[in-house]
Chains A and B, each alone.
Chain A
């Protein structure tokens, strides 16, 4: 039974209120929402706070369990849980990235990563939770290593994008990092051996079937052999790479354009995400959320 045979319906089950400014990003806490563990969600906002919401076992509705405030001095733009769910990273326009740990019922800021010259736009943990990537308006991508005792060391500062870097995402199984930017390109970064020597191994620009305007988001499918990107150019693009080749240590296989989805949104597409089940969701400035499933031939 393929997804295309199913019919999908998006139904609003609850509206969470509490933030006093726009909500920029959300993140589901890993290992919650299954096995009897109530689902937990983090949201970050222009009101400089992060809220943690938990689904009540009794009523099934989400309640605000914690407000992470008085740390960031400007909009919190991005939040991401470490793969184990132990730590929450929050990136802010105040140029810092805060790391939060749950202590009892509350969350404490256990570390503050400074280095970006201005607004941090995105944070992402690698699959093993050993590395954290951040990116920002200063056009740079930073890679940090997590050490015992919630210590963080800067592994590398990557320059290459010529404009604001909107998002960074780690590959779901390999330590390969992708970034997308206001400079219309998508960059792939990898480490040379084990030497902390990270560099750009591929740049996807307009001439390689890439986007013709700001690329706002990127997301990998669960198997990591495909990724989806969305842009101000009103298209969603799907890319594929020979993962087998990469995993067998045969170098970095380049990402190739598979297809372009256009005509579905008539305003900037700000968000795209590939679910574990293979559904791609996109959200755009036309106030629409669209769901895409792979057809017979694509």
Chain B
């Protein structure tokens, strides 16, 4: 009753054509209200499933990148150890390439996946690695490790 009186009061206060519109506004806006509700629901749903998917993609990509970088790190460390034991074991060109690979691995922006240079650095690393392996005449690949995409098959 209190509310009704309140409405009646505002009805009387705005006694022009606008006030009639006010009463009908809420029913006219039903469509808009429902649209807004639906939108908000969908948005929130999308936000949470998007986050989930993003987490999975991030995990997979992060793993792959990390694994590849780690592999190069390992190779570089072994090569550097060999050089320390015998500085003549590799040619100066190969040593220079190893040093360049070292710098690239260090400079890879591990914590900034959106950094534009990630593809360039990885491409350069792969090319240098292939050139070094070709010169040393060794086949080094890390496909002994199952990649996340392979895990399904193993199971």
Q: Which residues of A contact B (CB under 8 A)?
A: 113-115, 142, 145, 147, 152-157, 159, 196
Contact = CB atoms under 8 A, between A and B. Distances in A.
B130 interface: yes
A68 to B, nearest CB: 21
Residue of A154, A155, A159 with most partner-chain B CB within 10 A: A154
B93 A114 contact: no
A142 B134 CA distance: 10
A155 B128 CA distance: 9
B19 interface: no
A113 B133 CA distance: 11
What are the 3 closest A-B residue pairs judged by CB atoms, nearest first?
A115-B134, A154-B134, A154-B131
Given A147-B91, A153-B94, 19 more contacts: A113-B134, A114-B134, A115-B130, A115-B133, A115-B134, A142-B134, A152-B135, A153-B91, A153-B135, A154-B130, A154-B131, A155-B93, A155-B131, A156-B131, A157-B131, A159-B123, A159-B127, A196-B93, A196-B96
B130 to A, nearest CB: 5
Contacts of A156: 131
A159 B125 CA distance: 13
Interface residues of B, number: 14
Contacts, number: 33
Contacts of B135: 152-154
Main secondary structure of the interface of B (DSSP, over half): helix
A156 B127 CA distance: 8
Interface of B: 91, 93-94, 96, 123, 127, 130-135, 137, 139
Secondary structure at the A interface, as helix, strand, loop or mixed, is strand
A113 B127 CA distance: 16
A185 B91 CA distance: 35
A157 B93 contact: no
Nearest to B93: A153
Nearest to A158: B127
Nearest to A156: B131
Contacts of A115: 130-131, 133-134
B94 A157 contact: no
A147 B93 CA distance: 12
B91 A157 contact: no
Nearest to B96: A196
Contacts of A196: 93, 96
A195 B91 CA distance: 15
A21 to B, nearest CB: 28
A224 B17 CA distance: 90
Nearest to A113: B134
Contacts of A152: 135
Highest count of chain B CB atoms <10 Å: which of A153, A159, A196: A153
Contacts of B139: 114
Contacts of A142: 131, 134
Contacts of B127: 157, 159
Contacts of A153: 91, 93-94, 135
